[in-house]
Chains A and B, each alone.
Chain A
């Protein structure tokens, strides 16, 4: 999952970025409205966290421009403005959620998860493919009831593939959703990551392969029939 955080407070940028990365998200930050708008229009984010009081363009202007441009990315407004009027304006302008500063880290993460699930039209935090189960709320995965040991990147990759179960996911899509702007994955990094994930979710020699390759297109996840 890839998240954009548009916030002018450098301290808050740093702390939220650490939390997002520690939670397995690929996260980018922007310190002003115009730059944030450009990033949201240019990259394919799963969620945008947007402050309202921003230099160059305020959050509402950014949101208006995004929606006018047809960008449907879920937007969570994170602001110090706590009046009902501010919240109503934010939500009516096109925000999907509104959180007031200061906030609890778990609440922020829960809201981001909910918004990202909405992107993939899932209502529950648990996703299943065959005997493989992933809970995005608790950041845990298990196969045949046996917990899997996954790193943040592996978890993010598995979650993305599972959310798009049955669909072929290209390498560039994986790159966009799993890695942030500061990472520059080399061409074989995705293949290596997928290979590593295949091993991680295979708990025994008899485990059925769940991640399949469609040559020339990418990967897809599906329970194999045999």
Chain B
């Protein structure tokens, strides 16, 4: 994969070369045109000193003697109209200039490029009446060496300057990109070092370019969520491992005991192993339910339910145990209330609250199931005596695997019930609150003001 720097260089460098070639060509041809025009003008001026032509009074930059040697690169040759040579410059020696075809009379003449051996000449040929009468054809020529040399120097200059400017441009682009992309490089470097063990790392937003700031903010928020998720998972795994160790140790000890002393194994020992297995099963079931609930989200099945009927139905699940322990329910729900809820989640909430109350309330006590303060959004309050509960325990009641001191060895409970209740309530945009009033503990379910349309209470059943 190419870097941004590489990618930009690949685009910018050909662009620069194209611009440089176009600019260089324009300059080259403009100068060439200018030099050609100047050469033409110089060649025309040579006519002023030609024999057979009427002389003018102008001062010329050249004399006829300048045509004697080849040093000045000036040549001329004069013919009659029929092509008979009348005279030519001495520096032509035995050579002749090519005789261009022209119209007569043609005082303006025509420019042409001639070759004299290896020499390139710019020539002007005119057809006029000679000073002594009779039509003559005059060709004056000048070497193009100076122009060619100038053009060569210009071409070299254009190429040289272009190459230097190109190198400078590349260096500038590289430095600018490096400096401009530095924040992005820093973000990239830091991001590449982040793994599950370094999720506490955050990207500095201060000094970050405006273009990158939203990305950095989002990344920080994402890492924060990831960190919280990882911490939650680690805590859960650790709690889970810890909670599983004791029952697994008990199960293993029982098995090893049975293998070593088979003659001593009784039915009670086997029943004990079965109980431990069942408790592990309950724990695993609760954990799976929590995992499923946390992914449930949008898949809630909202229905209008009769709260009164639901509570009585769920109480039936614990009625037998309540009877055994001499516990009686006192239903104080206000009339027939209909509410919008997911029936499965509501059942989990009610069953766990009731089972908790029945198992932990002292024998012979009364469990009250009321409506609470409906003005404040409360719709269900379950309270029971809890003499062993302390105020400091309240904040931990909904923590996973938390169990009060006295409840630690309580068979059949793994400390996930109230955590399940809280998860279910939150999924339906409800809030559950635990409160210690005297020696009684109460769990209050209420709607969260302004959140979600899921929870609503009505006076009549719509179901």
Task: Enumerate chain A interface residues (CB-CB to B < 8 A).
Answer: 8-12, 14-16, 18-19, 22, 31-32, 53-56, 80-81, 100-106
Query: Which residues in A have their C-beta under 8 angstroms from that of B254?
Result: 15, 18
Query: Which residues in A have their C-beta under 8 angstroms from that of B272?
Result: 11, 14-15
Query: Which residues in A have their C-beta under 8 angstroms from that of B252?
Result: 102-105
Cβ-neighbour of B406 out of A14, A53, A55, A106 (below 8 A): A55
**B134 on the A face (CB < 8 A):** no
Say how far B145's CB is from chain A's closest CB, in angstroms: 93
Contact B257 A55 (CB under 8 A): no
What are 6 inter-chain pairs, A to B, with CB distance below 8 A? A12-B247, A12-B250, A19-B256, A22-B261, A55-B406, A104-B252
Query: Which residues in A have their C-beta under 8 angstroms from that of B253?
Result: 12, 15-16, 18-19, 103, 105
**With contacts A14-B272, A15-B272, A105-B253 known, is A9 near B247, CB below 8 A?**
yes
Cβ-neighbour of B408 out of A8, A19, A80, A81 (below 8 A): A8
| CB-nearest residue of chain B to A7 | B246
Contact B242 A81 (CB under 8 A): yes
Cβ-neighbour of A80 out of B242, B260, B276, B279 (below 8 A): B242
Task: Enumerate chain B interface residues (CB-CB to A < 8 A).
Answer: 241-243, 245-254, 256-257, 260-261, 264, 269, 272, 275-276, 279, 405-406, 408-409, 411
B242, B253, B409 — which one has the most chain A CB atoms within 10 A of its CB? B253
Say how far A104's CB is from chain B's closest CB, in angstroms: 7
Query: Which residues in A have their C-beta under 8 angstroms from that of B264?
Result: 18, 22
Query: Which residues in B have their C-beta under 8 angstroms from that of A22?
Result: 257, 260-261, 264
Say how far A137's CB is from chain B's closest CB, in angstroms: 14
Say how far A99's CB is from chain B's closest CB, in angstroms: 10
B272, B276, B409 — which one has the most chain A CB atoms within 10 A of its CB? B409
Contact B409 A31 (CB under 8 A): yes
**With contacts A19-B253, A19-B257 known, is A101 near B248, CB below 8 A?**
yes
Cβ-neighbour of B246 out of A12, A32, A106 (below 8 A): A12
Say how far B128's CB is from chain A's closest CB, in angstroms: 116
Q: At the interface, is chain B mostly helix, strand, loop or mixed? A: helix
8 tightest A-B CB contacts, nearest first:
A55-B405, A80-B245, A102-B249, A11-B250, A15-B253, A105-B256, A101-B249, A101-B245
Contact B242 A11 (CB under 8 A): no
Contact B257 A15 (CB under 8 A): yes
Alpha-carbon gap, A192 to B257, bound state (A): 30
Alpha-carbon gap, A31 to B241, bound state (A): 21
**With contacts A19-B256, A101-B246, A102-B248 known, is A11 near B406, CB below 8 A?**
no
Contact A14 B250 (CB under 8 A): yes
Say how far B321's CB is from chain A's closest CB, in angstroms: 18
Cβ-neighbour of A104 out of B256, B279, B408, B409 (below 8 A): B256
Say how far A153's CB is from chain B's closest CB, in angstroms: 15
Alpha-carbon gap, A19 to B249, bound state (A): 13
Alpha-carbon gap, A22 to B269, bound state (A): 14
Say how far B256's CB is from chain A's closest CB, in angstroms: 4
| CB-nearest residue of chain A to B247 | A11
Cβ-neighbour of B249 out of A12, A31, A53, A54 (below 8 A): A12
| CB-nearest residue of chain B to A108 | B253
Query: Which residues in B have their C-beta under 8 angstroms from that of A53?
Result: 408
Query: Which residues in B have their C-beta under 8 angstroms from that of A10?
Result: 409, 411
Query: Which residues in B have their C-beta under 8 angstroms from that of A19?
Result: 253, 256-257
| CB-nearest residue of chain A to B252 | A102
Cβ-neighbour of B257 out of A56, A101, A102, A105 (below 8 A): A105
Contact A103 B249 (CB under 8 A): yes
Contact A9 B246 (CB under 8 A): yes
Say how far A147's CB is from chain B's closest CB, in angstroms: 19
Alpha-carbon gap, A9 to B248, bound state (A): 11
| CB-nearest residue of chain B to A80 | B245
Contact A8 B260 (CB under 8 A): no
Contact B269 A18 (CB under 8 A): yes
| CB-nearest residue of chain B to A78 | B249
**With contacts A81-B242, A101-B248 known, is A11 near B257, CB below 8 A?**
no
Query: Which residues in B have their C-beta under 8 angstroms from that of A106?
Result: 256
Say how far A166's CB is from chain B's closest CB, in angstroms: 34
Query: Which residues in B have their C-beta under 8 angstroms from that of A32?
Result: 405
Alpha-carbon gap, A103 to B255, bound state (A): 12
| CB-nearest residue of chain B to A31 | B409
Say how far B276's CB is from chain A's closest CB, in angstroms: 5
Alpha-carbon gap, A55 to B251, bound state (A): 22
Contact A80 B246 (CB under 8 A): yes
Alpha-carbon gap, A53 to B402, bound state (A): 12
Cβ-neighbour of B409 out of A8, A16, A101, A105 (below 8 A): A8
Say how far A49's CB is from chain B's closest CB, in angstroms: 12
Query: Which residues in B have their C-beta under 8 angstroms from that of A8?
Result: 408-409
Alpha-carbon gap, A15 to B256, bound state (A): 10
| CB-nearest residue of chain B to A18 | B257
A10, A15, A56, A80 — which one has the most chain B CB atoms within 10 A of its CB? A15
Say how far A175's CB is from chain B's closest CB, in angstroms: 24
Contact A102 B409 (CB under 8 A): no
